[in-house]
Structure 1
Amino acid sequence: MAALSSPMTISYLHSLSCNKSCLLTSQFSKPLFINQTQKKLRFSISFCLKQKESGIEQDEEEEEEFTVVTAVKSRYNEIVIVDTFASRYLLLDSTRNVHSVINKGGQNWTGAYWDESACLPPIIPNGPIAIYGLGGGTAARLILELWPSTELEGWEIDEILIEKARDYLGLSELEIPTSKGGRLCIHVDDALSPCQDDPKRYAGIIVDLFADGKVLDQLQEIPMWLELASRLMPNGRLMVNCAGIETEVKNGKPQLVLDDLAWMLNSTVKILSEAFPGQVSWKRTPDSEGLNFVALTGGLPDLSDWSSKVPVRLSESVKLWKLCETVPLQLAVRSRYNEIVIVDTASSRYLLLDSTKNVHSVINKGGQNWTGSYWDEFASLPPIIPNGPVAIYGLGGGTAARLMLELWPTMQLEGWEIDEILIEKARDYLGLSELEKPTSKGGRLCVHVDDALSPSQDVSGRYAGIIVDLFADGKVLDQLQEVPIWLELASRLMPNGRIMVNCAGIETELQNGKPQLLLDDSAGMLNSTVKILSEAFPGQVCWKRTPDSEGLNFLALTGGLPDLSDWSSKVPVRFCEVVKQWKLCE
């Protein structure tokens, strides 16, 4: 079965426009391309079909047809409109991002971030709402369905885009007054131009301004936000599509901020919080809606009251909004190897390293050692290796070691960390020294401050297992992209020993922004570290990918595929189903 394994280029779509149709086979129920930083949905046939939203079950072998309705280049965009059985899509610029969609069955919910804008009317005064970045009118269509008396003013800089949206996406229908008098008034102009600075005009402004797949550069400046706020009437609000986490584009190790810190990783939310201190709220849409950050000015609304005034479909969603609040900084110090930051929250303490501000360790204050992230996976290793010491290369603050000693208290762990100051601060602030004391069953952590990959550490046959979690500047170490280093590490294992590796994500995510959610047996081959391991140990490497809530990491395991049923029976209940997800690299 053929699969759509790469994005269609604009030039290809242009060539298709001559034939007007093409058949592709799709096996996915989620988008192939979702971009963490760009946050405009990237086109894939499987996403376009919206199988979950429509309730249509697609056979994996069924071929799905789409047609290119129009493809034209304007002064501002490469505009492509694509037709599928259920929907029609507007793709813009070279990123092939989806900027608008209209469903053919009359269903205006999209299951994507556009739906969020429809929750704005109940928390703003009566008055017109501006949409900066109208596109083909997706957000406007749902707002007018749910709030038919709303006066909308849509701003779009591209005249040809508006013309094509009127012709092919039903935009002109929204310009006709509804039965309650609401309508969309379209302005073809630059929404950010000073000439549009109409003080106190709007009850709300929805900002969805992108170019080349990124939030406009002008929106990274405080004066611009102050100018936009001046266009609001008293108690008016801005609602902003802020895209995703910019550093996800650069970093292999996910920024696992598991609580109220996450907003700090998005540059647009950060600049808004600087422009309006204490008055910005945020939420992040789920993976199925693109993992977008959305921001709201005007302080945190009464969530219960808001929930009671929106359609049922939005009633739980609006309860996810949180106020942007900073957290106490416990420590910030620079070592030879890292910029070390330790921050405190109500429930946890985090170790952030280097300029990427990636979370390398966490300790929960309530005594709960499960993290809900990839570190937990390492604790499933002991039942499938011989008795003997386990090395952790890339100890950090000891998060993985802590859970392993709780679950397997006889375990002898040897943690390797190159940064002496990091170890010192982890002992002071993250309870690492507790792990160096023997447990009641004799297990303990022995800490080595040294380079784990140095030849001097080549202790042949010493370890039953080696856990490799080695990163620098947010990426898997370059040394780990070579076959010889893996052969050297394997020589440190006793017979039947195994190596378990945090391999980060998909390298093409680092270029495209949104992760390429390939959900079949080929996905492991998109990760360079998994690939090099499979070359070093042909037929003996297994892989799995953690869910979004755990960072979308690839993990690899040497030594062949274990008996999954037997493995499942020997791990804590929380792991029983998790370990069954491992697959052999084939």
Structure 2
Amino acid sequence: MNKILCLLVVISTISLPSIAKVIHQERSLYRNILVEDKFNLRCLKFNVKTSKTNQSCLYKNDPQRLVFNYTKLLFSSLLVMEKAPENILIIGLGGGTMSNTLHQLYPSARITNVEIDPAVIKVARQYFGFFENERVTSKVQDGRIFIKRAALKKKRYDWIILDAFNGDYIPEHLLTREFLQEAKQLLTPDGVLSANTFSISELYNHESATYYQVFGDFFNVRNSKNSNRIILAVNQELPDGKQITERAQALNQTLKPYNINIIDITTNMTSTMDEKDWPTQTKLLTDQYSPANLLNY
């Protein structure tokens, strides 16, 4: 009888749902912000009403090791660069994971993080170890306004990362042809623009057509593990398969400590030179036509 009781206790313990503990919660000017701990995982959430709420996560016992597949996929950008980036612009901070990782990889690079919500920056510093110094800075500003002003100042970046979300989707004014044209002006001649978006969005065709209209051919990077896709757009011709393979082999050992298998990621890269998977007459997203926040994904 005692054995049966013990077995029941073990079964009930295993079947109990693991409950995340909310360690911080606030309502900012723009969104609901939550920080939750679940065993070794700490996550930042922006919107509790939808199922896709995690904006950033870290392993508390190993913050260097990346959690999200999309974050790892972003490092495919290094495969289309001829040299290490010296000036990096990140639109959308989250927990600051990308900024922290890039600073570890390229300590001499200048990294500018742009985040519209000052509460997100505060939470990133307090709960996710977001690191700043004279080379890593954060700006409280709308990403599009920052880019407009940076263009007036003749700023140039080797790598621009678009990773802004409002809790539902990418803000629609950061998806349009006009915005992408403004961002393209900030790229150095061999610069790369990386956009974190989705492969199952109702806007997929519109986004693809819009990026193609502004940049020409680009890379899609995606895998079967999630619905994210990374768009890699450049200011010059896309590198060929041999160049990408060589760069992946050179970066492989450097990126392993961050839980990034860059060689595996090369198998998830496709070029629009080989396949344009959207209808020819797809309507472009513009400042006059940008229904991003009205569509579900």
Contact map agreement 2:75 2:262 (CA 8 A) in 1: no
Deviation per residue, 1:384-428 (Å, 9 max, x gap) = 155421111111111112222233333321111110011112111
> What are the within-5 Å matches in structure 2 for residues 87-166 of structure 1?
none
Deviation per residue, 1:543-573 (Å, 9 max, x gap) = 121331xx22111001243332122123224
Q: 1:372/1:424 Cα in 2 relative to 1: closer, same or farther (>3 Å)?
A: closer
Out of 126, 149, 163, the position equivalent to 1:428 is 126
Q: Which amino acid is 2:215 matched to? A: F
Name 1:535's counterpart in structure 2. Answer: 213
Name 1:557's counterpart in structure 2. Answer: 232
1:449 and 2:140 equivalent? yes
Secondary structure of 1:395 counterpart: coil
Contact map agreement 1:568 1:577 (CA 8 A) in 2: no
Q: Which amino acid is 1:425 matched to? A: V
Secondary structure of 2:107 counterpart: coil
Secondary structure of 2:11 counterpart: coil
Name 2:88's counterpart in structure 1. Answer: 390
Q: Which amino acid is 1:462 matched to? A: R
Alpha-carbon distance, 1:302 to partner = 7.6
Secondary structure of 1:473 counterpart: coil
Alpha-carbon distance, 1:577 to partner = 2.4
Deviation per residue, 1:472-491 (Å, 9 max, x gap) = 23212212332111010010
Deviation per residue, 1:369-393 (Å, 9 max, x gap) = 2224211222343451554211111
Using the alignment, how far apart are the partners of 2:112 and 2:208 within structure 1? 24
Using the alignment, how far apart are the partners of 2:82 and 2:209 within structure 1? 23
Name 2:71's counterpart in structure 1. Answer: 375
Name 2:167's counterpart in structure 1. Answer: 473
Using the alignment, how far apart are the partners of 1:345 and 1:366 within structure 2? 13
Using the alignment, how far apart are the partners of 2:263 and 2:107 within structure 1? 19
Using the alignment, how far apart are the partners of 1:528 and 1:462 within structure 2? 27
Secondary structure of 2:112 counterpart: strand
Residue identity (%): 23
Using the alignment, how far apart are the partners of 1:425 and 1:372 within structure 2? 19
1:399 and 2:90 equivalent? no
Using the alignment, how far apart are the partners of 1:361 and 1:341 within structure 2? 11
Q: 1:322/1:409 Cα in 2 relative to 1: closer, same or farther (>3 Å)?
A: farther
Q: 1:299/1:475 Cα in 2 relative to 1: closer, same or farther (>3 Å)?
A: farther
Secondary structure of 2:190 counterpart: strand
Alpha-carbon distance, 1:447 to partner = 0.9
Query: Hey, which bits of structure 1, 4+ residues long, moved more than 4 A?
Result: none
Out of 56, 69, 82, the position equivalent to 1:361 is 56
TM-score between both structures, scaled by the size of structure 1: 0.39
Alpha-carbon distance, 1:358 to partner = 1.3
Indicate the RMSD between aligned Cα atoms, in angstroms.
Answer: 2.6
Using the alignment, how far apart are the partners of 1:545 and 1:302 within structure 2? 39
Contact map agreement 1:369 1:403 (CA 8 A) in 2: no
Name 1:577's counterpart in structure 2. Answer: 264
Structure 1 alignment gaps of length 5 or more: 1-297, 304-320, 439-443, 509-524
Alpha-carbon distance, 1:299 to partner = 8.4
Q: Which amino acid is 1:577 matched to? A: D
1:501 and 2:195 equivalent? yes
Deviation per residue, 1:10-34 (Å, 9 max, x gap) = xxxxxxxxxxxxxxxxxxxxxxxxx
Q: 1:351/1:302 Cα in 2 relative to 1: closer, same or farther (>3 Å)?
A: closer
> What are the within-5 Å matches in structure 2 for residues 91-490 of structure 1?
301=11, 322-355=15-48, 356=50, 358-367=53-62, 368-382=64-78, 384=81, 386=83, 387-432=85-130, 435-437=131-133, 444-454=135-145, 455-458=148-151, 459-490=153-184
Secondary structure of 2:211 counterpart: helix
Structure 2 alignment gaps of length 5 or more: 1-7, 254-260, 276-297
Using the alignment, how far apart are the partners of 2:118 and 2:97 within structure 1? 17
Q: 1:546/1:408 Cα in 2 relative to 1: closer, same or farther (>3 Å)?
A: farther
Contact map agreement 2:115 2:143 (CA 8 A) in 1: yes
Q: 1:461/1:569 Cα in 2 relative to 1: closer, same or farther (>3 Å)?
A: farther
Contact map agreement 2:115 2:121 (CA 8 A) in 1: yes
